[in-house]
Chains A and B, each alone.
Chain A
Amino acid sequence: MIKVEHLTKKFGDFIAVNDISFNVQAGEMFALLGPNGAGKSTTIKMLTTLLKPTSGSLTLNGFDVVKQQDQTRKSFGIVFQDPSVDTDLTAYENMQLHAVMYGVPKSEIDTRIEELLKLVELWDRRDSLVKTYSGGMKRRLEIARGLLHHPKVLFLDEPTLGLDAQTRNLLWNYVGNLAHEKEMTILFTTHYLEEAEANSNQIAIIDHGKLLTIGTAQDLMKQTKTKSLEEAYLSLTGKELRDEKADPHEVWRQRQRARNMR
């Protein structure tokens, strides 16, 4: 359903995404993990026609993402990492606008909006301007809006960022059911590793723009000889904070530590 081949994106001299390739099968839930600045959002932006790749090829739902932008756009939906709702409109108006732009059948618009706004518990506030919302409420609106139409492929870029635990559970249950019922393919990123483990069939880990590994949570644990996804993740990406040069000794020590923990 999604095919990424030798994808590279440069910003000037800086290589944000470096020769990444992977495939996502139809109906799969695919998690893209990696530290801050790894290149996750940049990859998603290229897959969603917002950025042009420097090189490499992208196919989504059988369409060439760069050359067949219109068909590609008809095939996916997205929840962005950064805010993208109109804060001078109400929640309901934001939902309506989205529904119309994505061609949701007229007869279904109102029922779907109601269902989703109730799901994220914004129904009572549907007629308030979004600028009067709290950060978490805005986030929930973004998600509700992203689930309004039922695309072939759904991108979720850190959907649960800043949400409380209850809402996160609720959201993943809903997304899981939707994916199952509508046979959607889902590609998501998150920094909550337990979310990735619980909700994905495949996990790809990238760092500094490079794809480190790809497989099921079990595969990754086996590969790194660790017992949890978190350990596997840390042993692959190292423990140092980003933007600092990776210290090979530290990485080695961590690998040893991870190994000894077995």
Chain B
Amino acid sequence: MRVIYILWLRQIKRYFRSKSRIVGAVGQPLLFLLALGYGLGSVYKEAGQGNYLQFLVPGIMAQTVLFSSMFYGAMIIFDRQFGFLKETMVAPVGRLKIMLGGALGGATTSVMQGIIVFLISLLLGFRPYNWPMALFSLIFMSVLALAITSFSSGIGSFVQDMQGFQAINQFLVFPLYFLSGALYPLNHVPTWLRIIAEVNPISYTVDAMRWSMIGTSRFGIVHDCIALGITLVVLIVFGVMRFRHIEP
């Protein structure tokens, strides 16, 4: 436990020492909120769907957590380039602990980013429908964050450079995000798009976030939780397996 704690603490300390990272990782979601929230708000209303900002914010919070957590994998690539990875690889500690300690640290900082975006949304006029229920979103963000930091540790273990890592982001994570229900309702989309969304774990996270924040759910919270749970377990296993074979 002390090992997991100290590796977690390392990530937290590095996060608070890098102001640019805090600001940078909030910039993109803020742009989405402003451009989409205000840009599409009126169209959305005219289509009879209600308030778009209310709909959008849970999705943007998930986006924040998703991409900050992916960025954690880049930290592993930096650790390799700067040599620190060797120090952890020869340590007499199980690989699961090493992977989890760092991933938990990365996940914690991602959730903090999600909370910052939530606070900004409040300033923009977003209101959760029920405050105690909104606290559940912390759990969903945490599960997503740990699943994705585990996944990105796995990716960071076998991708040798930032270019390769960016490629995974561009060709896997961005599409999964845009094809989830984060930005638009899935009610009236073409069947193929709906099917993709229904096998996409991000959709279930976004759905769970909406359930806690605005009280609507497409798949039902039970399905969301099952999907999130499976995703978490699969991605942790993936992360550890890849991490075992890492060569610094």
Contact = CB atoms under 8 A, between A and B. Distances in A.
B87 interface: yes
Contacts of B90: 48-50, 73, 76, 78
Interface in B77-104: 79, 82-94
Contacts, number: 68
Interface of A: 48-51, 70, 73-74, 76, 78, 80, 82-89, 93, 96-98, 100-103, 129
Given A80-B87, A100-B5, 13 more contacts: A73-B90, A76-B90, A80-B83, A82-B83, A84-B86, A84-B87, A88-B14, A89-B10, A89-B13, A97-B6, A100-B6, A101-B91, A101-B92
Interface in B1-47: 2-3, 5-7, 10, 13-14, 17-18
A174 to B, nearest CB: 21
Nearest to A129: B17
Interface residues of B, number: 26
Contact of B88 (A51, A78, A101): A101
B247 A85 contact: no
Nearest to B248: A50
Contacts of A97: 6-7, 10
- Which 7 residue pairs spanning A and B have beta carbons closest together? A73-B92, A74-B92, A84-B83, A101-B91, A100-B6, A83-B83, A84-B87
Contacts of A48: 90
A50 B5 CA distance: 24
B82 A101 contact: no
A257 B3 CA distance: 57
B92 A102 contact: yes
B239 to A, nearest CB: 19
A86 B84 contact: yes
B91 A85 contact: no
